């Protein structure tokens, strides 16, 4: 009577457990954002990933942010900018919300509108999107 070990079966089980462990540990959801230019303003992205946009000198210029969650469920994306921006009509000065603060996804994609004012020319605007404790950002040089 001896103890017989099937090494081939042990190798298969070990490989299966290793595969399951690696697959389980992988983050299947990833989050990224990008600036969309649907109105064809002059736009480039430099080698550092900074968007350079040329906006209207007389009125608000509208762009769109796109967030990709990797989830097919309806999910919330929150949006904000790094620095508060202000506008003035010559009588009063007030906070200017550059981007809508939240959006919801459909099929893993959510959008939010962004408005750049002529007074923002020469500023670097950093936009953050956050989803499930994951944050991504884009930097936009307004020209």
Average pLDDT along the chain: 87
Flag whether pLDDT at 26 surpasses 50: no
- What's the half-sphere exposure (Cβ side, CA atoms, 13 Å) at 35? 29
pLDDT in tens, 69-84: 989 999 999 999 999 8
Alpha carbon distances (Å) from 103 to 16, 47, 51, 100, 126: 40, 29, 22, 8, 18
In sequence order, which ranges of the chain are alpha helices (DSSP H)?
7-25
Flag whether pLDDT at 140 surpasses 80: yes
pLDDT-based confidence at residue 10 (cuts at 50, 70, 90):
low
Q: Report how far residue 43's alpha carbon sits from residue 54's, in angstroms, rounded to the nearest whole number.
A: 6
Q: Report how far residue 73's alpha carbon sits from residue 78's, in angstroms, rounded to the nearest whole number.
A: 16
pTM value is 0.77
| DSSP β-bridge partners for residue 106 | 109
Q: Report how far residue 41's alpha carbon sits from residue 43's, in angstroms, rounded to the nearest whole number.
A: 6
Q: Report how far residue 17's alpha carbon sits from residue 11's, in angstroms, rounded to the nearest whole number.
A: 10
Alpha carbon distances (Å) from 10 to 7, 23, 63: 5, 20, 57
DSSP-based three-state secondary structure for 18: helix
Q: Are 26 and 63 in contact (CB under 8 A)?
A: no
Using a pLDDT cut of 70, give the percent of the chain over it: 80
Residue range 52-69: mean pLDDT, rounded: 96
Return the pLDDT at 66.
98
């Amino acid at each position: 009577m001896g103890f017989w070990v099937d090494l081939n079966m042990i190798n298969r089980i070990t490989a299966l457990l290793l595969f399951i462990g690696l697959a389980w540990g992988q983050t299947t959801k990833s989050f990224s954002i990008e600036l969309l230019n649907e109105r064809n303003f002059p736009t480039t992205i430099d080698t550092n990933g900074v968007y350079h946009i040329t906006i209207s000198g007389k009125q608000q210029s509208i762009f769109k942010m796109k967030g990709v969650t990797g989830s097919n469920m309806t999910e919330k994306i929150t949006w904000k900018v790094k620095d508060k921006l202000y506008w003035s009509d010559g009588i009063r000065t007030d906070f200017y919300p550059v981007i809508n603060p939240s959006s919801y996804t459909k099929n893993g994609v959510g959008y939010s509108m962004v408005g750049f004012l002529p007074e923002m020319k020469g500023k670097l605007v950093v936009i953050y999107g956050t989803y499930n404790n994951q944050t991504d950002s884009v930097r936009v040089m307004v020209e």
